[in-house]
Chains A and B, each alone.
Chain A
Amino acid sequence: MSTDAPSKSDVEIGDYKYGFHDSTDFYAFKSRKGLDAEIVSQISGMKKEPPWMREFRLKSLEIFESRPMPNWGGDMSDLKFDNIYYYMKAASEQGKSWDDVPEDIRRTYDRLGIPEAEKKYLAGVKAQYESEVVYGSLRQDLARQGVIFTDTDSALQQHPELFREYFGTVIPPGDNKFAALNSAVWSGGSFIYVPKGVKIDFPLQAYFRINSQNMGQFERTLIIVDEGASVHYVEGCTAPTYSSDSLHSAVVEIIVKRGARCRYTTIQNWSNNVYNLVTKRAMAYGDSLMEWIDGNLGSRLTMKYPAIWLMEPGARGETLSIAFAGKGQHQDAGAKMVHCAPNTSSRIISKSISRSGGRSSYRGLVKVQKDAINCRSNVVCDALILDPASRSDTYPYIEVEEQNVAIEHEASVSKIAEEQLFYLMSRGLTEAEASAMIVTGFVEPLVRELPMEYAVELNRLIELQMEGSVG
């Protein structure tokens, strides 16, 4: 094995094979670099927001400025907040139909295969291009059932009362520095409301892209699943590669009411220069089920710990996460489960792969509050390290304030898997094919939970990463 030696055709995780970018000349509006109250007010003004949202943003900016940078997780010393555009508008109006979408953007989406995917079985494709949603559609029967699936800016305008009731209640601006930043400058993202008893039996999907140098993306997603309802939301990201740093800091808030179910699936594949600092949290009420399925490829640094607060008895939470760290990448990912009520249960399955000097960390918290008796939690962490230059760490935090609970934690680290490689190679598979097969098998428990086209794409990405990576 000589996997630590770079070869001429070395393909890095995050070098998205279909990477490309379009001209950025068509921007209708671009804020100046940096962040202050004037820019925040300008963003709110451009969006014609109500005064309460402008106040919310300005207050959040104060919180952001008052908080120190986190001194844990990954290295953010190269992150310069003054060197980022906080708001860009790609097209002046939101596209009403496919034909209204500007040619430049449409070409990009054609290459991503979005319309084709839509034709197949997607209900609504909402595509975020830069900070603004330019194209979105929703199947008629969903609308008739009262389902709202729109971009978050439109939701603020069109459903002001519903919006204000829930916005910022799961993740308040004071939660952490990056949640405050997002609260100050958020733009785009998805808003979903599923009324009582409505079960959506196909995944709602959104595609995200970053397409401009030094450009931050601050989506804000809010999902409300009313009593007895269910939804599966899928979000995938691809990004072209750029030379200078880019910041992505999203906030996702989810409310899963009594007896409801929500599954949120993300596959993120940022370019190697992106800082991906995301706050995701769900509140799960009585007898509900919340599931995060979270795949992290690419980026320079990802810090992401999807959380579930189990608020009432019978609530269940599950997180299935996978991280793939290649050269120059640090995936600091994990999950948080907070048991606030008796008879709640949670499960965390985390898998990470490190290669070519990449670093992956599992950072997780299981917390059981006082009086939350009869809680169960099961945590399984598996790490696969493909070469000696790469690294994997596990930081499991368990805080239990109650006696009568069952908490299990298992962690395993597999090195290089040399015997597996030899076994497969002795059957005629090349080293690259054998590596890809081992990695594909390792992530299979996650991949089988994905919608078909994501599963195919993820497996194809893994094959591409492995080809030419050895030798």
Chain B
Amino acid sequence: MTSLLRISDLHVSVGETPILRGVNMEIRQGEVHALMGPNGSGKSTLAYALAGHPNYTVTEGSIEIDGVNVTEMEADARARLGMFLAFQYPVVIPGVKVADFLRHAVSNIRNPDRREGEGLIGMREFRKEIRDRMTELGMDQEFARRYLNDGFSGGEKKRMEILQLAMLQPRFAILDETDSGLDSDAVRVVSEGLARLSGPQMGVLIITHHERLLEFNTPQFVHVMLGGRIVETGSSTLAHELHANGYADIRARHPAAAAQNSTAEATPV
């Protein structure tokens, strides 16, 4: 059975401020979707709301995975159902080694019924797996022993997100501006890495301002967000148009949504 992530009439507020005003989207395993839109349109808010950030309150609508309503679920429960968010701003966790963290995460994701304190997956198989994935992503083996994102460069942090994606093998991966702040070589590494990882088992939502990440990951669907709504959906040619012409035409076609578009970019609160 092909899994389905269904977003229905989703309204999300941060504090008292409404950001999303009725988002609808369906992502199936194996599909690649791109989400574009100007700053402040609500792209990152959608990403955080899907992952279950406690400060992003769903006021209307629902998020379902294979018919299971996950709207009220904590982030960890959603992760166990196959949701994954590659963060735009990965968080630093001092003193926690990448390998220790990932072994714990992998154990929970692969064994969703695991209880706190129960055994983790075998050290030997885990080590081999993380070594192989790091090699594929061109990462230094030293990464596994470093503290999670602590002292990482921008490119290293993004690669770390892709490594987690590779290890956790989610059914639905949301990439929130994974290409931002990277030079073109780094974008290519990340883009190729994603292309290798995604396949028939993974539904992907790529949030981006640019086209570069889409180069190796051609989307079947391109959505344009404005003022907290999806105002247009098209094929990959829409991405090319937006890249060439910017959002002026979109704003002109959707003046009401344009008027509601916040000027501030959503950042973690």
A437 touches B54 (CB 8 A): no
The number of chain B residues touching the other chain, given as a range, is 35 or more
Please, which residues of chain B bring their CB within 8 A of the CB of A438? Answer: 93, 96
Contacts A426-B51, A426-B85 known; A437 to B93 CB distance under 8 Å?
yes
**Would you call B94 an interface residue if the criterion is a C-beta within 8 Å of the partner chain's C-beta atoms?**
yes
Instruction: Give bound CA distance, A357 to B80, whole Å.
Output: 32
The verdict on A431 contacting B95 (CB below 8 Å), with A423-B90, A424-B101 known, is no
* Residue B15 CB within 8 A of the other chain: no
B-facing residues in A439-469 (Cβ within 8 Å):
440-445, 463, 467
Stretch of B104-112, B187-195, B216-224 with 4 or more beta carbons under 8 angstroms from chain A: B104-112
* A429: interface (CB < 8 Å): yes
Assembly CA distance A314 to B126 (angstroms): 48
Q: Find B94's partner among A427, A430, A442, A467 (CB 8 Å cutoff).
A: A442
| Complex CA–CA separation, A433 to B76 (angstroms) | 10
Residue of A431, A432, A441, A467 most packed against chain B (CB within 10 A): A441
Contact with A along B67-108 (1 / 0, CB 8 A): 000000011101110011101001111111000110011001
Instruction: Known A419-B268, A441-B147; judge A429-B104 contact (CB<8 A).
Output: yes
- Cβ-defined contact, B105 with A441, below 8 A: no
Complex contact B168–A423 (CB within 8 A): no
Beta-carbon nearest neighbor of B48 in chain A: A422
Is A443 in contact with B95, judged by CB distance below 8 angstroms? yes
- A24 on interface, CB distance cutoff 8 Å: no
Q: How far is the CB of A318 from chain B (nearest CB, A)?
A: 19
Q: How close is A427's CB to chain B, nearest CB, in angstroms?
A: 4
Q: List, in ascending order, chain A residues with CB within 8 A of B105's CB.
A: 424, 427-429
Decide: A423 and B96 in contact? CB cutoff 8 A. Answer: no
Complex contacts, A467 vs chain B, CB 8 Å: 116-117
A158 lies within 8 A of chain B by Cβ: no
Which of B75, B96, B101, B168 meets A425, CB within 8 Å? B75
Answer yes or no: B127 CB below 8 A from chain A CBs. no
Q: How far is the CA of A425 from the CA of B101 in the complex (A)?
A: 11
- Residue in chain B with minimal CB distance to A430: B76
Q: Does A92 count as interface, using CB distance less than 8 angstroms? A: no
Complex CA gap A319/B90 in Å reads 33
Given the complex, which residues of A lie within 8 Å of B261, measured CB to CB? Answer: none
Query: What string of 1s and 0s marks CB contacts (under 8 Å) between A405-439 and chain B?
Result: 00000000000001110111111111111100110
Distance in angstroms from A382 CB to nearest chain B CB is 9
Contact-size category for A = 20 to 34
Assess whether A1 is interfacial by the CB under 8 Å rule: yes
Shortest CB–CB separation between residue A418 and chain B, in angstroms?
7
A418 and B54 contacting across the interface, CB-CB below 8 Å:
yes
Query: Which B residues, 181 to 200, have Cβ-Cβ distances below 8 Å to chain A?
Result: none
**Of A1, A433, A463, which is within 8 A of B54 by CB?**
A1
Residue B53 is within 8 A (CB to CB) of chain A in the complex? yes
Query: Is there a chain A Cβ closer than 8 Å to B178's Cβ?
Result: no
Q: Which residues of A contact B96 (CB under 8 A)?
A: 437-438, 440-441, 444
Rounded to whole angstroms, the CA-CA distance of A427 and B116 in the bound complex is 15
Q: B80 touching A428 by the CB < 8 A rule?
A: yes
Bound CA span A428–B170, Å: 11
What residues of chain B lie closer than 8 Å to A432, measured between beta carbons?
A: 116
Least CB distance, A468 to chain B, in whole angstroms: 9
- Residue B164 CB within 8 A of the other chain: yes
**Within 8 Å of chain A (Cβ to Cβ): is B203?**
no
**In the complex, per-residue mask of B108-135: 1 if CB is within 8 Å of any chain A CB, else 0:** 1100000011000000000000000000
CA distance A424 to B109 in the complex (A): 12
Q: In the complex, are the beta carbons of B147 and A428 less than 8 A apart?
A: no
Name the CB-closest residue of A to B80. A428
Do residues B108 and A420 form an inter-chain contact, with CB atoms below 8 A?
Answer: no
**Distance in Å: Cβ of A155 to nearest Cβ of chain B:** 40
Whether a CB of chain A sits under 8 angstroms from the CB of B52 is yes
Give chain B residues whose Cβ lies under 8 Å from the Cβ of A420: 91-93
| A93 to B109 alpha-carbon distance, docked (Å) | 57
Identify which of A1, A428, A442, A463 contacts B76 (C-beta below 8 A): A428
Within 8 Å CB of B54, what residues of A? 1, 418, 422
Q: Who on chain B is nearest to A427 by CB?
A: B105
In the bound complex, how far is the Cα of B75 from the Cα of A428, in angstroms? 7
Cα of A438 to Cα of B148 in the assembled complex, Å: 11
Check A425 against B95 for contact (C-beta < 8 Å).
no
Q: Which residue of B lies closest to A464 (CB)?
A: B117
In the bound complex, do residue A442 and residue B101 qualify as a contact, i.e. CB atoms below 8 Å apart? no
Task: Kindly state the separation between the CA atoms of A434 and B91 in the bound complex, as whole angstroms.
Answer: 13
Q: Could you say which residues of chain A place their CB within 8 Å of the CB of B53?
A: 422
Q: Whole-angstrom distance from the CB of A443 to the nearest CB of chain B?
A: 7
Asked if A431 and B76 make an inter-chain contact with CB atoms under 8 angstroms apart, the answer reads yes
Beyond A442-B94, A445-B95, A463-B117, is A427–B168 a contact (Cβ under 8 Å)? yes
Closest residue on chain A to residue B56 by CB atoms? A422
The answer to whether A426 and B75 touch (CB under 8 A), given A441-B147, A467-B116, is yes
- What 9 A-B pairs come out closest when comparing CB atoms? A441-B95, A444-B95, A441-B96, A428-B108, A423-B91, A428-B79, A425-B75, A427-B105, A425-B76
Between-chain CB contacts (< 8 Å), 28 pairs: A1-B54, A420-B91, A422-B91, A424-B93, A424-B105, A425-B75, A425-B76, A426-B52, A426-B75, A426-B76, A427-B76, A427-B108, A427-B109, A427-B164, A428-B79, A428-B105, A429-B104, A430-B76, A431-B74, A432-B116, A433-B104, A433-B108, A438-B93, A438-B96, A440-B95, A441-B94, A441-B147, A463-B117
Query: 6 extra interchain contacts, Cβ-Cβ under 8 A, other than A428-B108, A430-B116, A434-B76?
Result: A422-B91, A425-B74, A426-B51, A426-B83, A428-B109, A441-B148
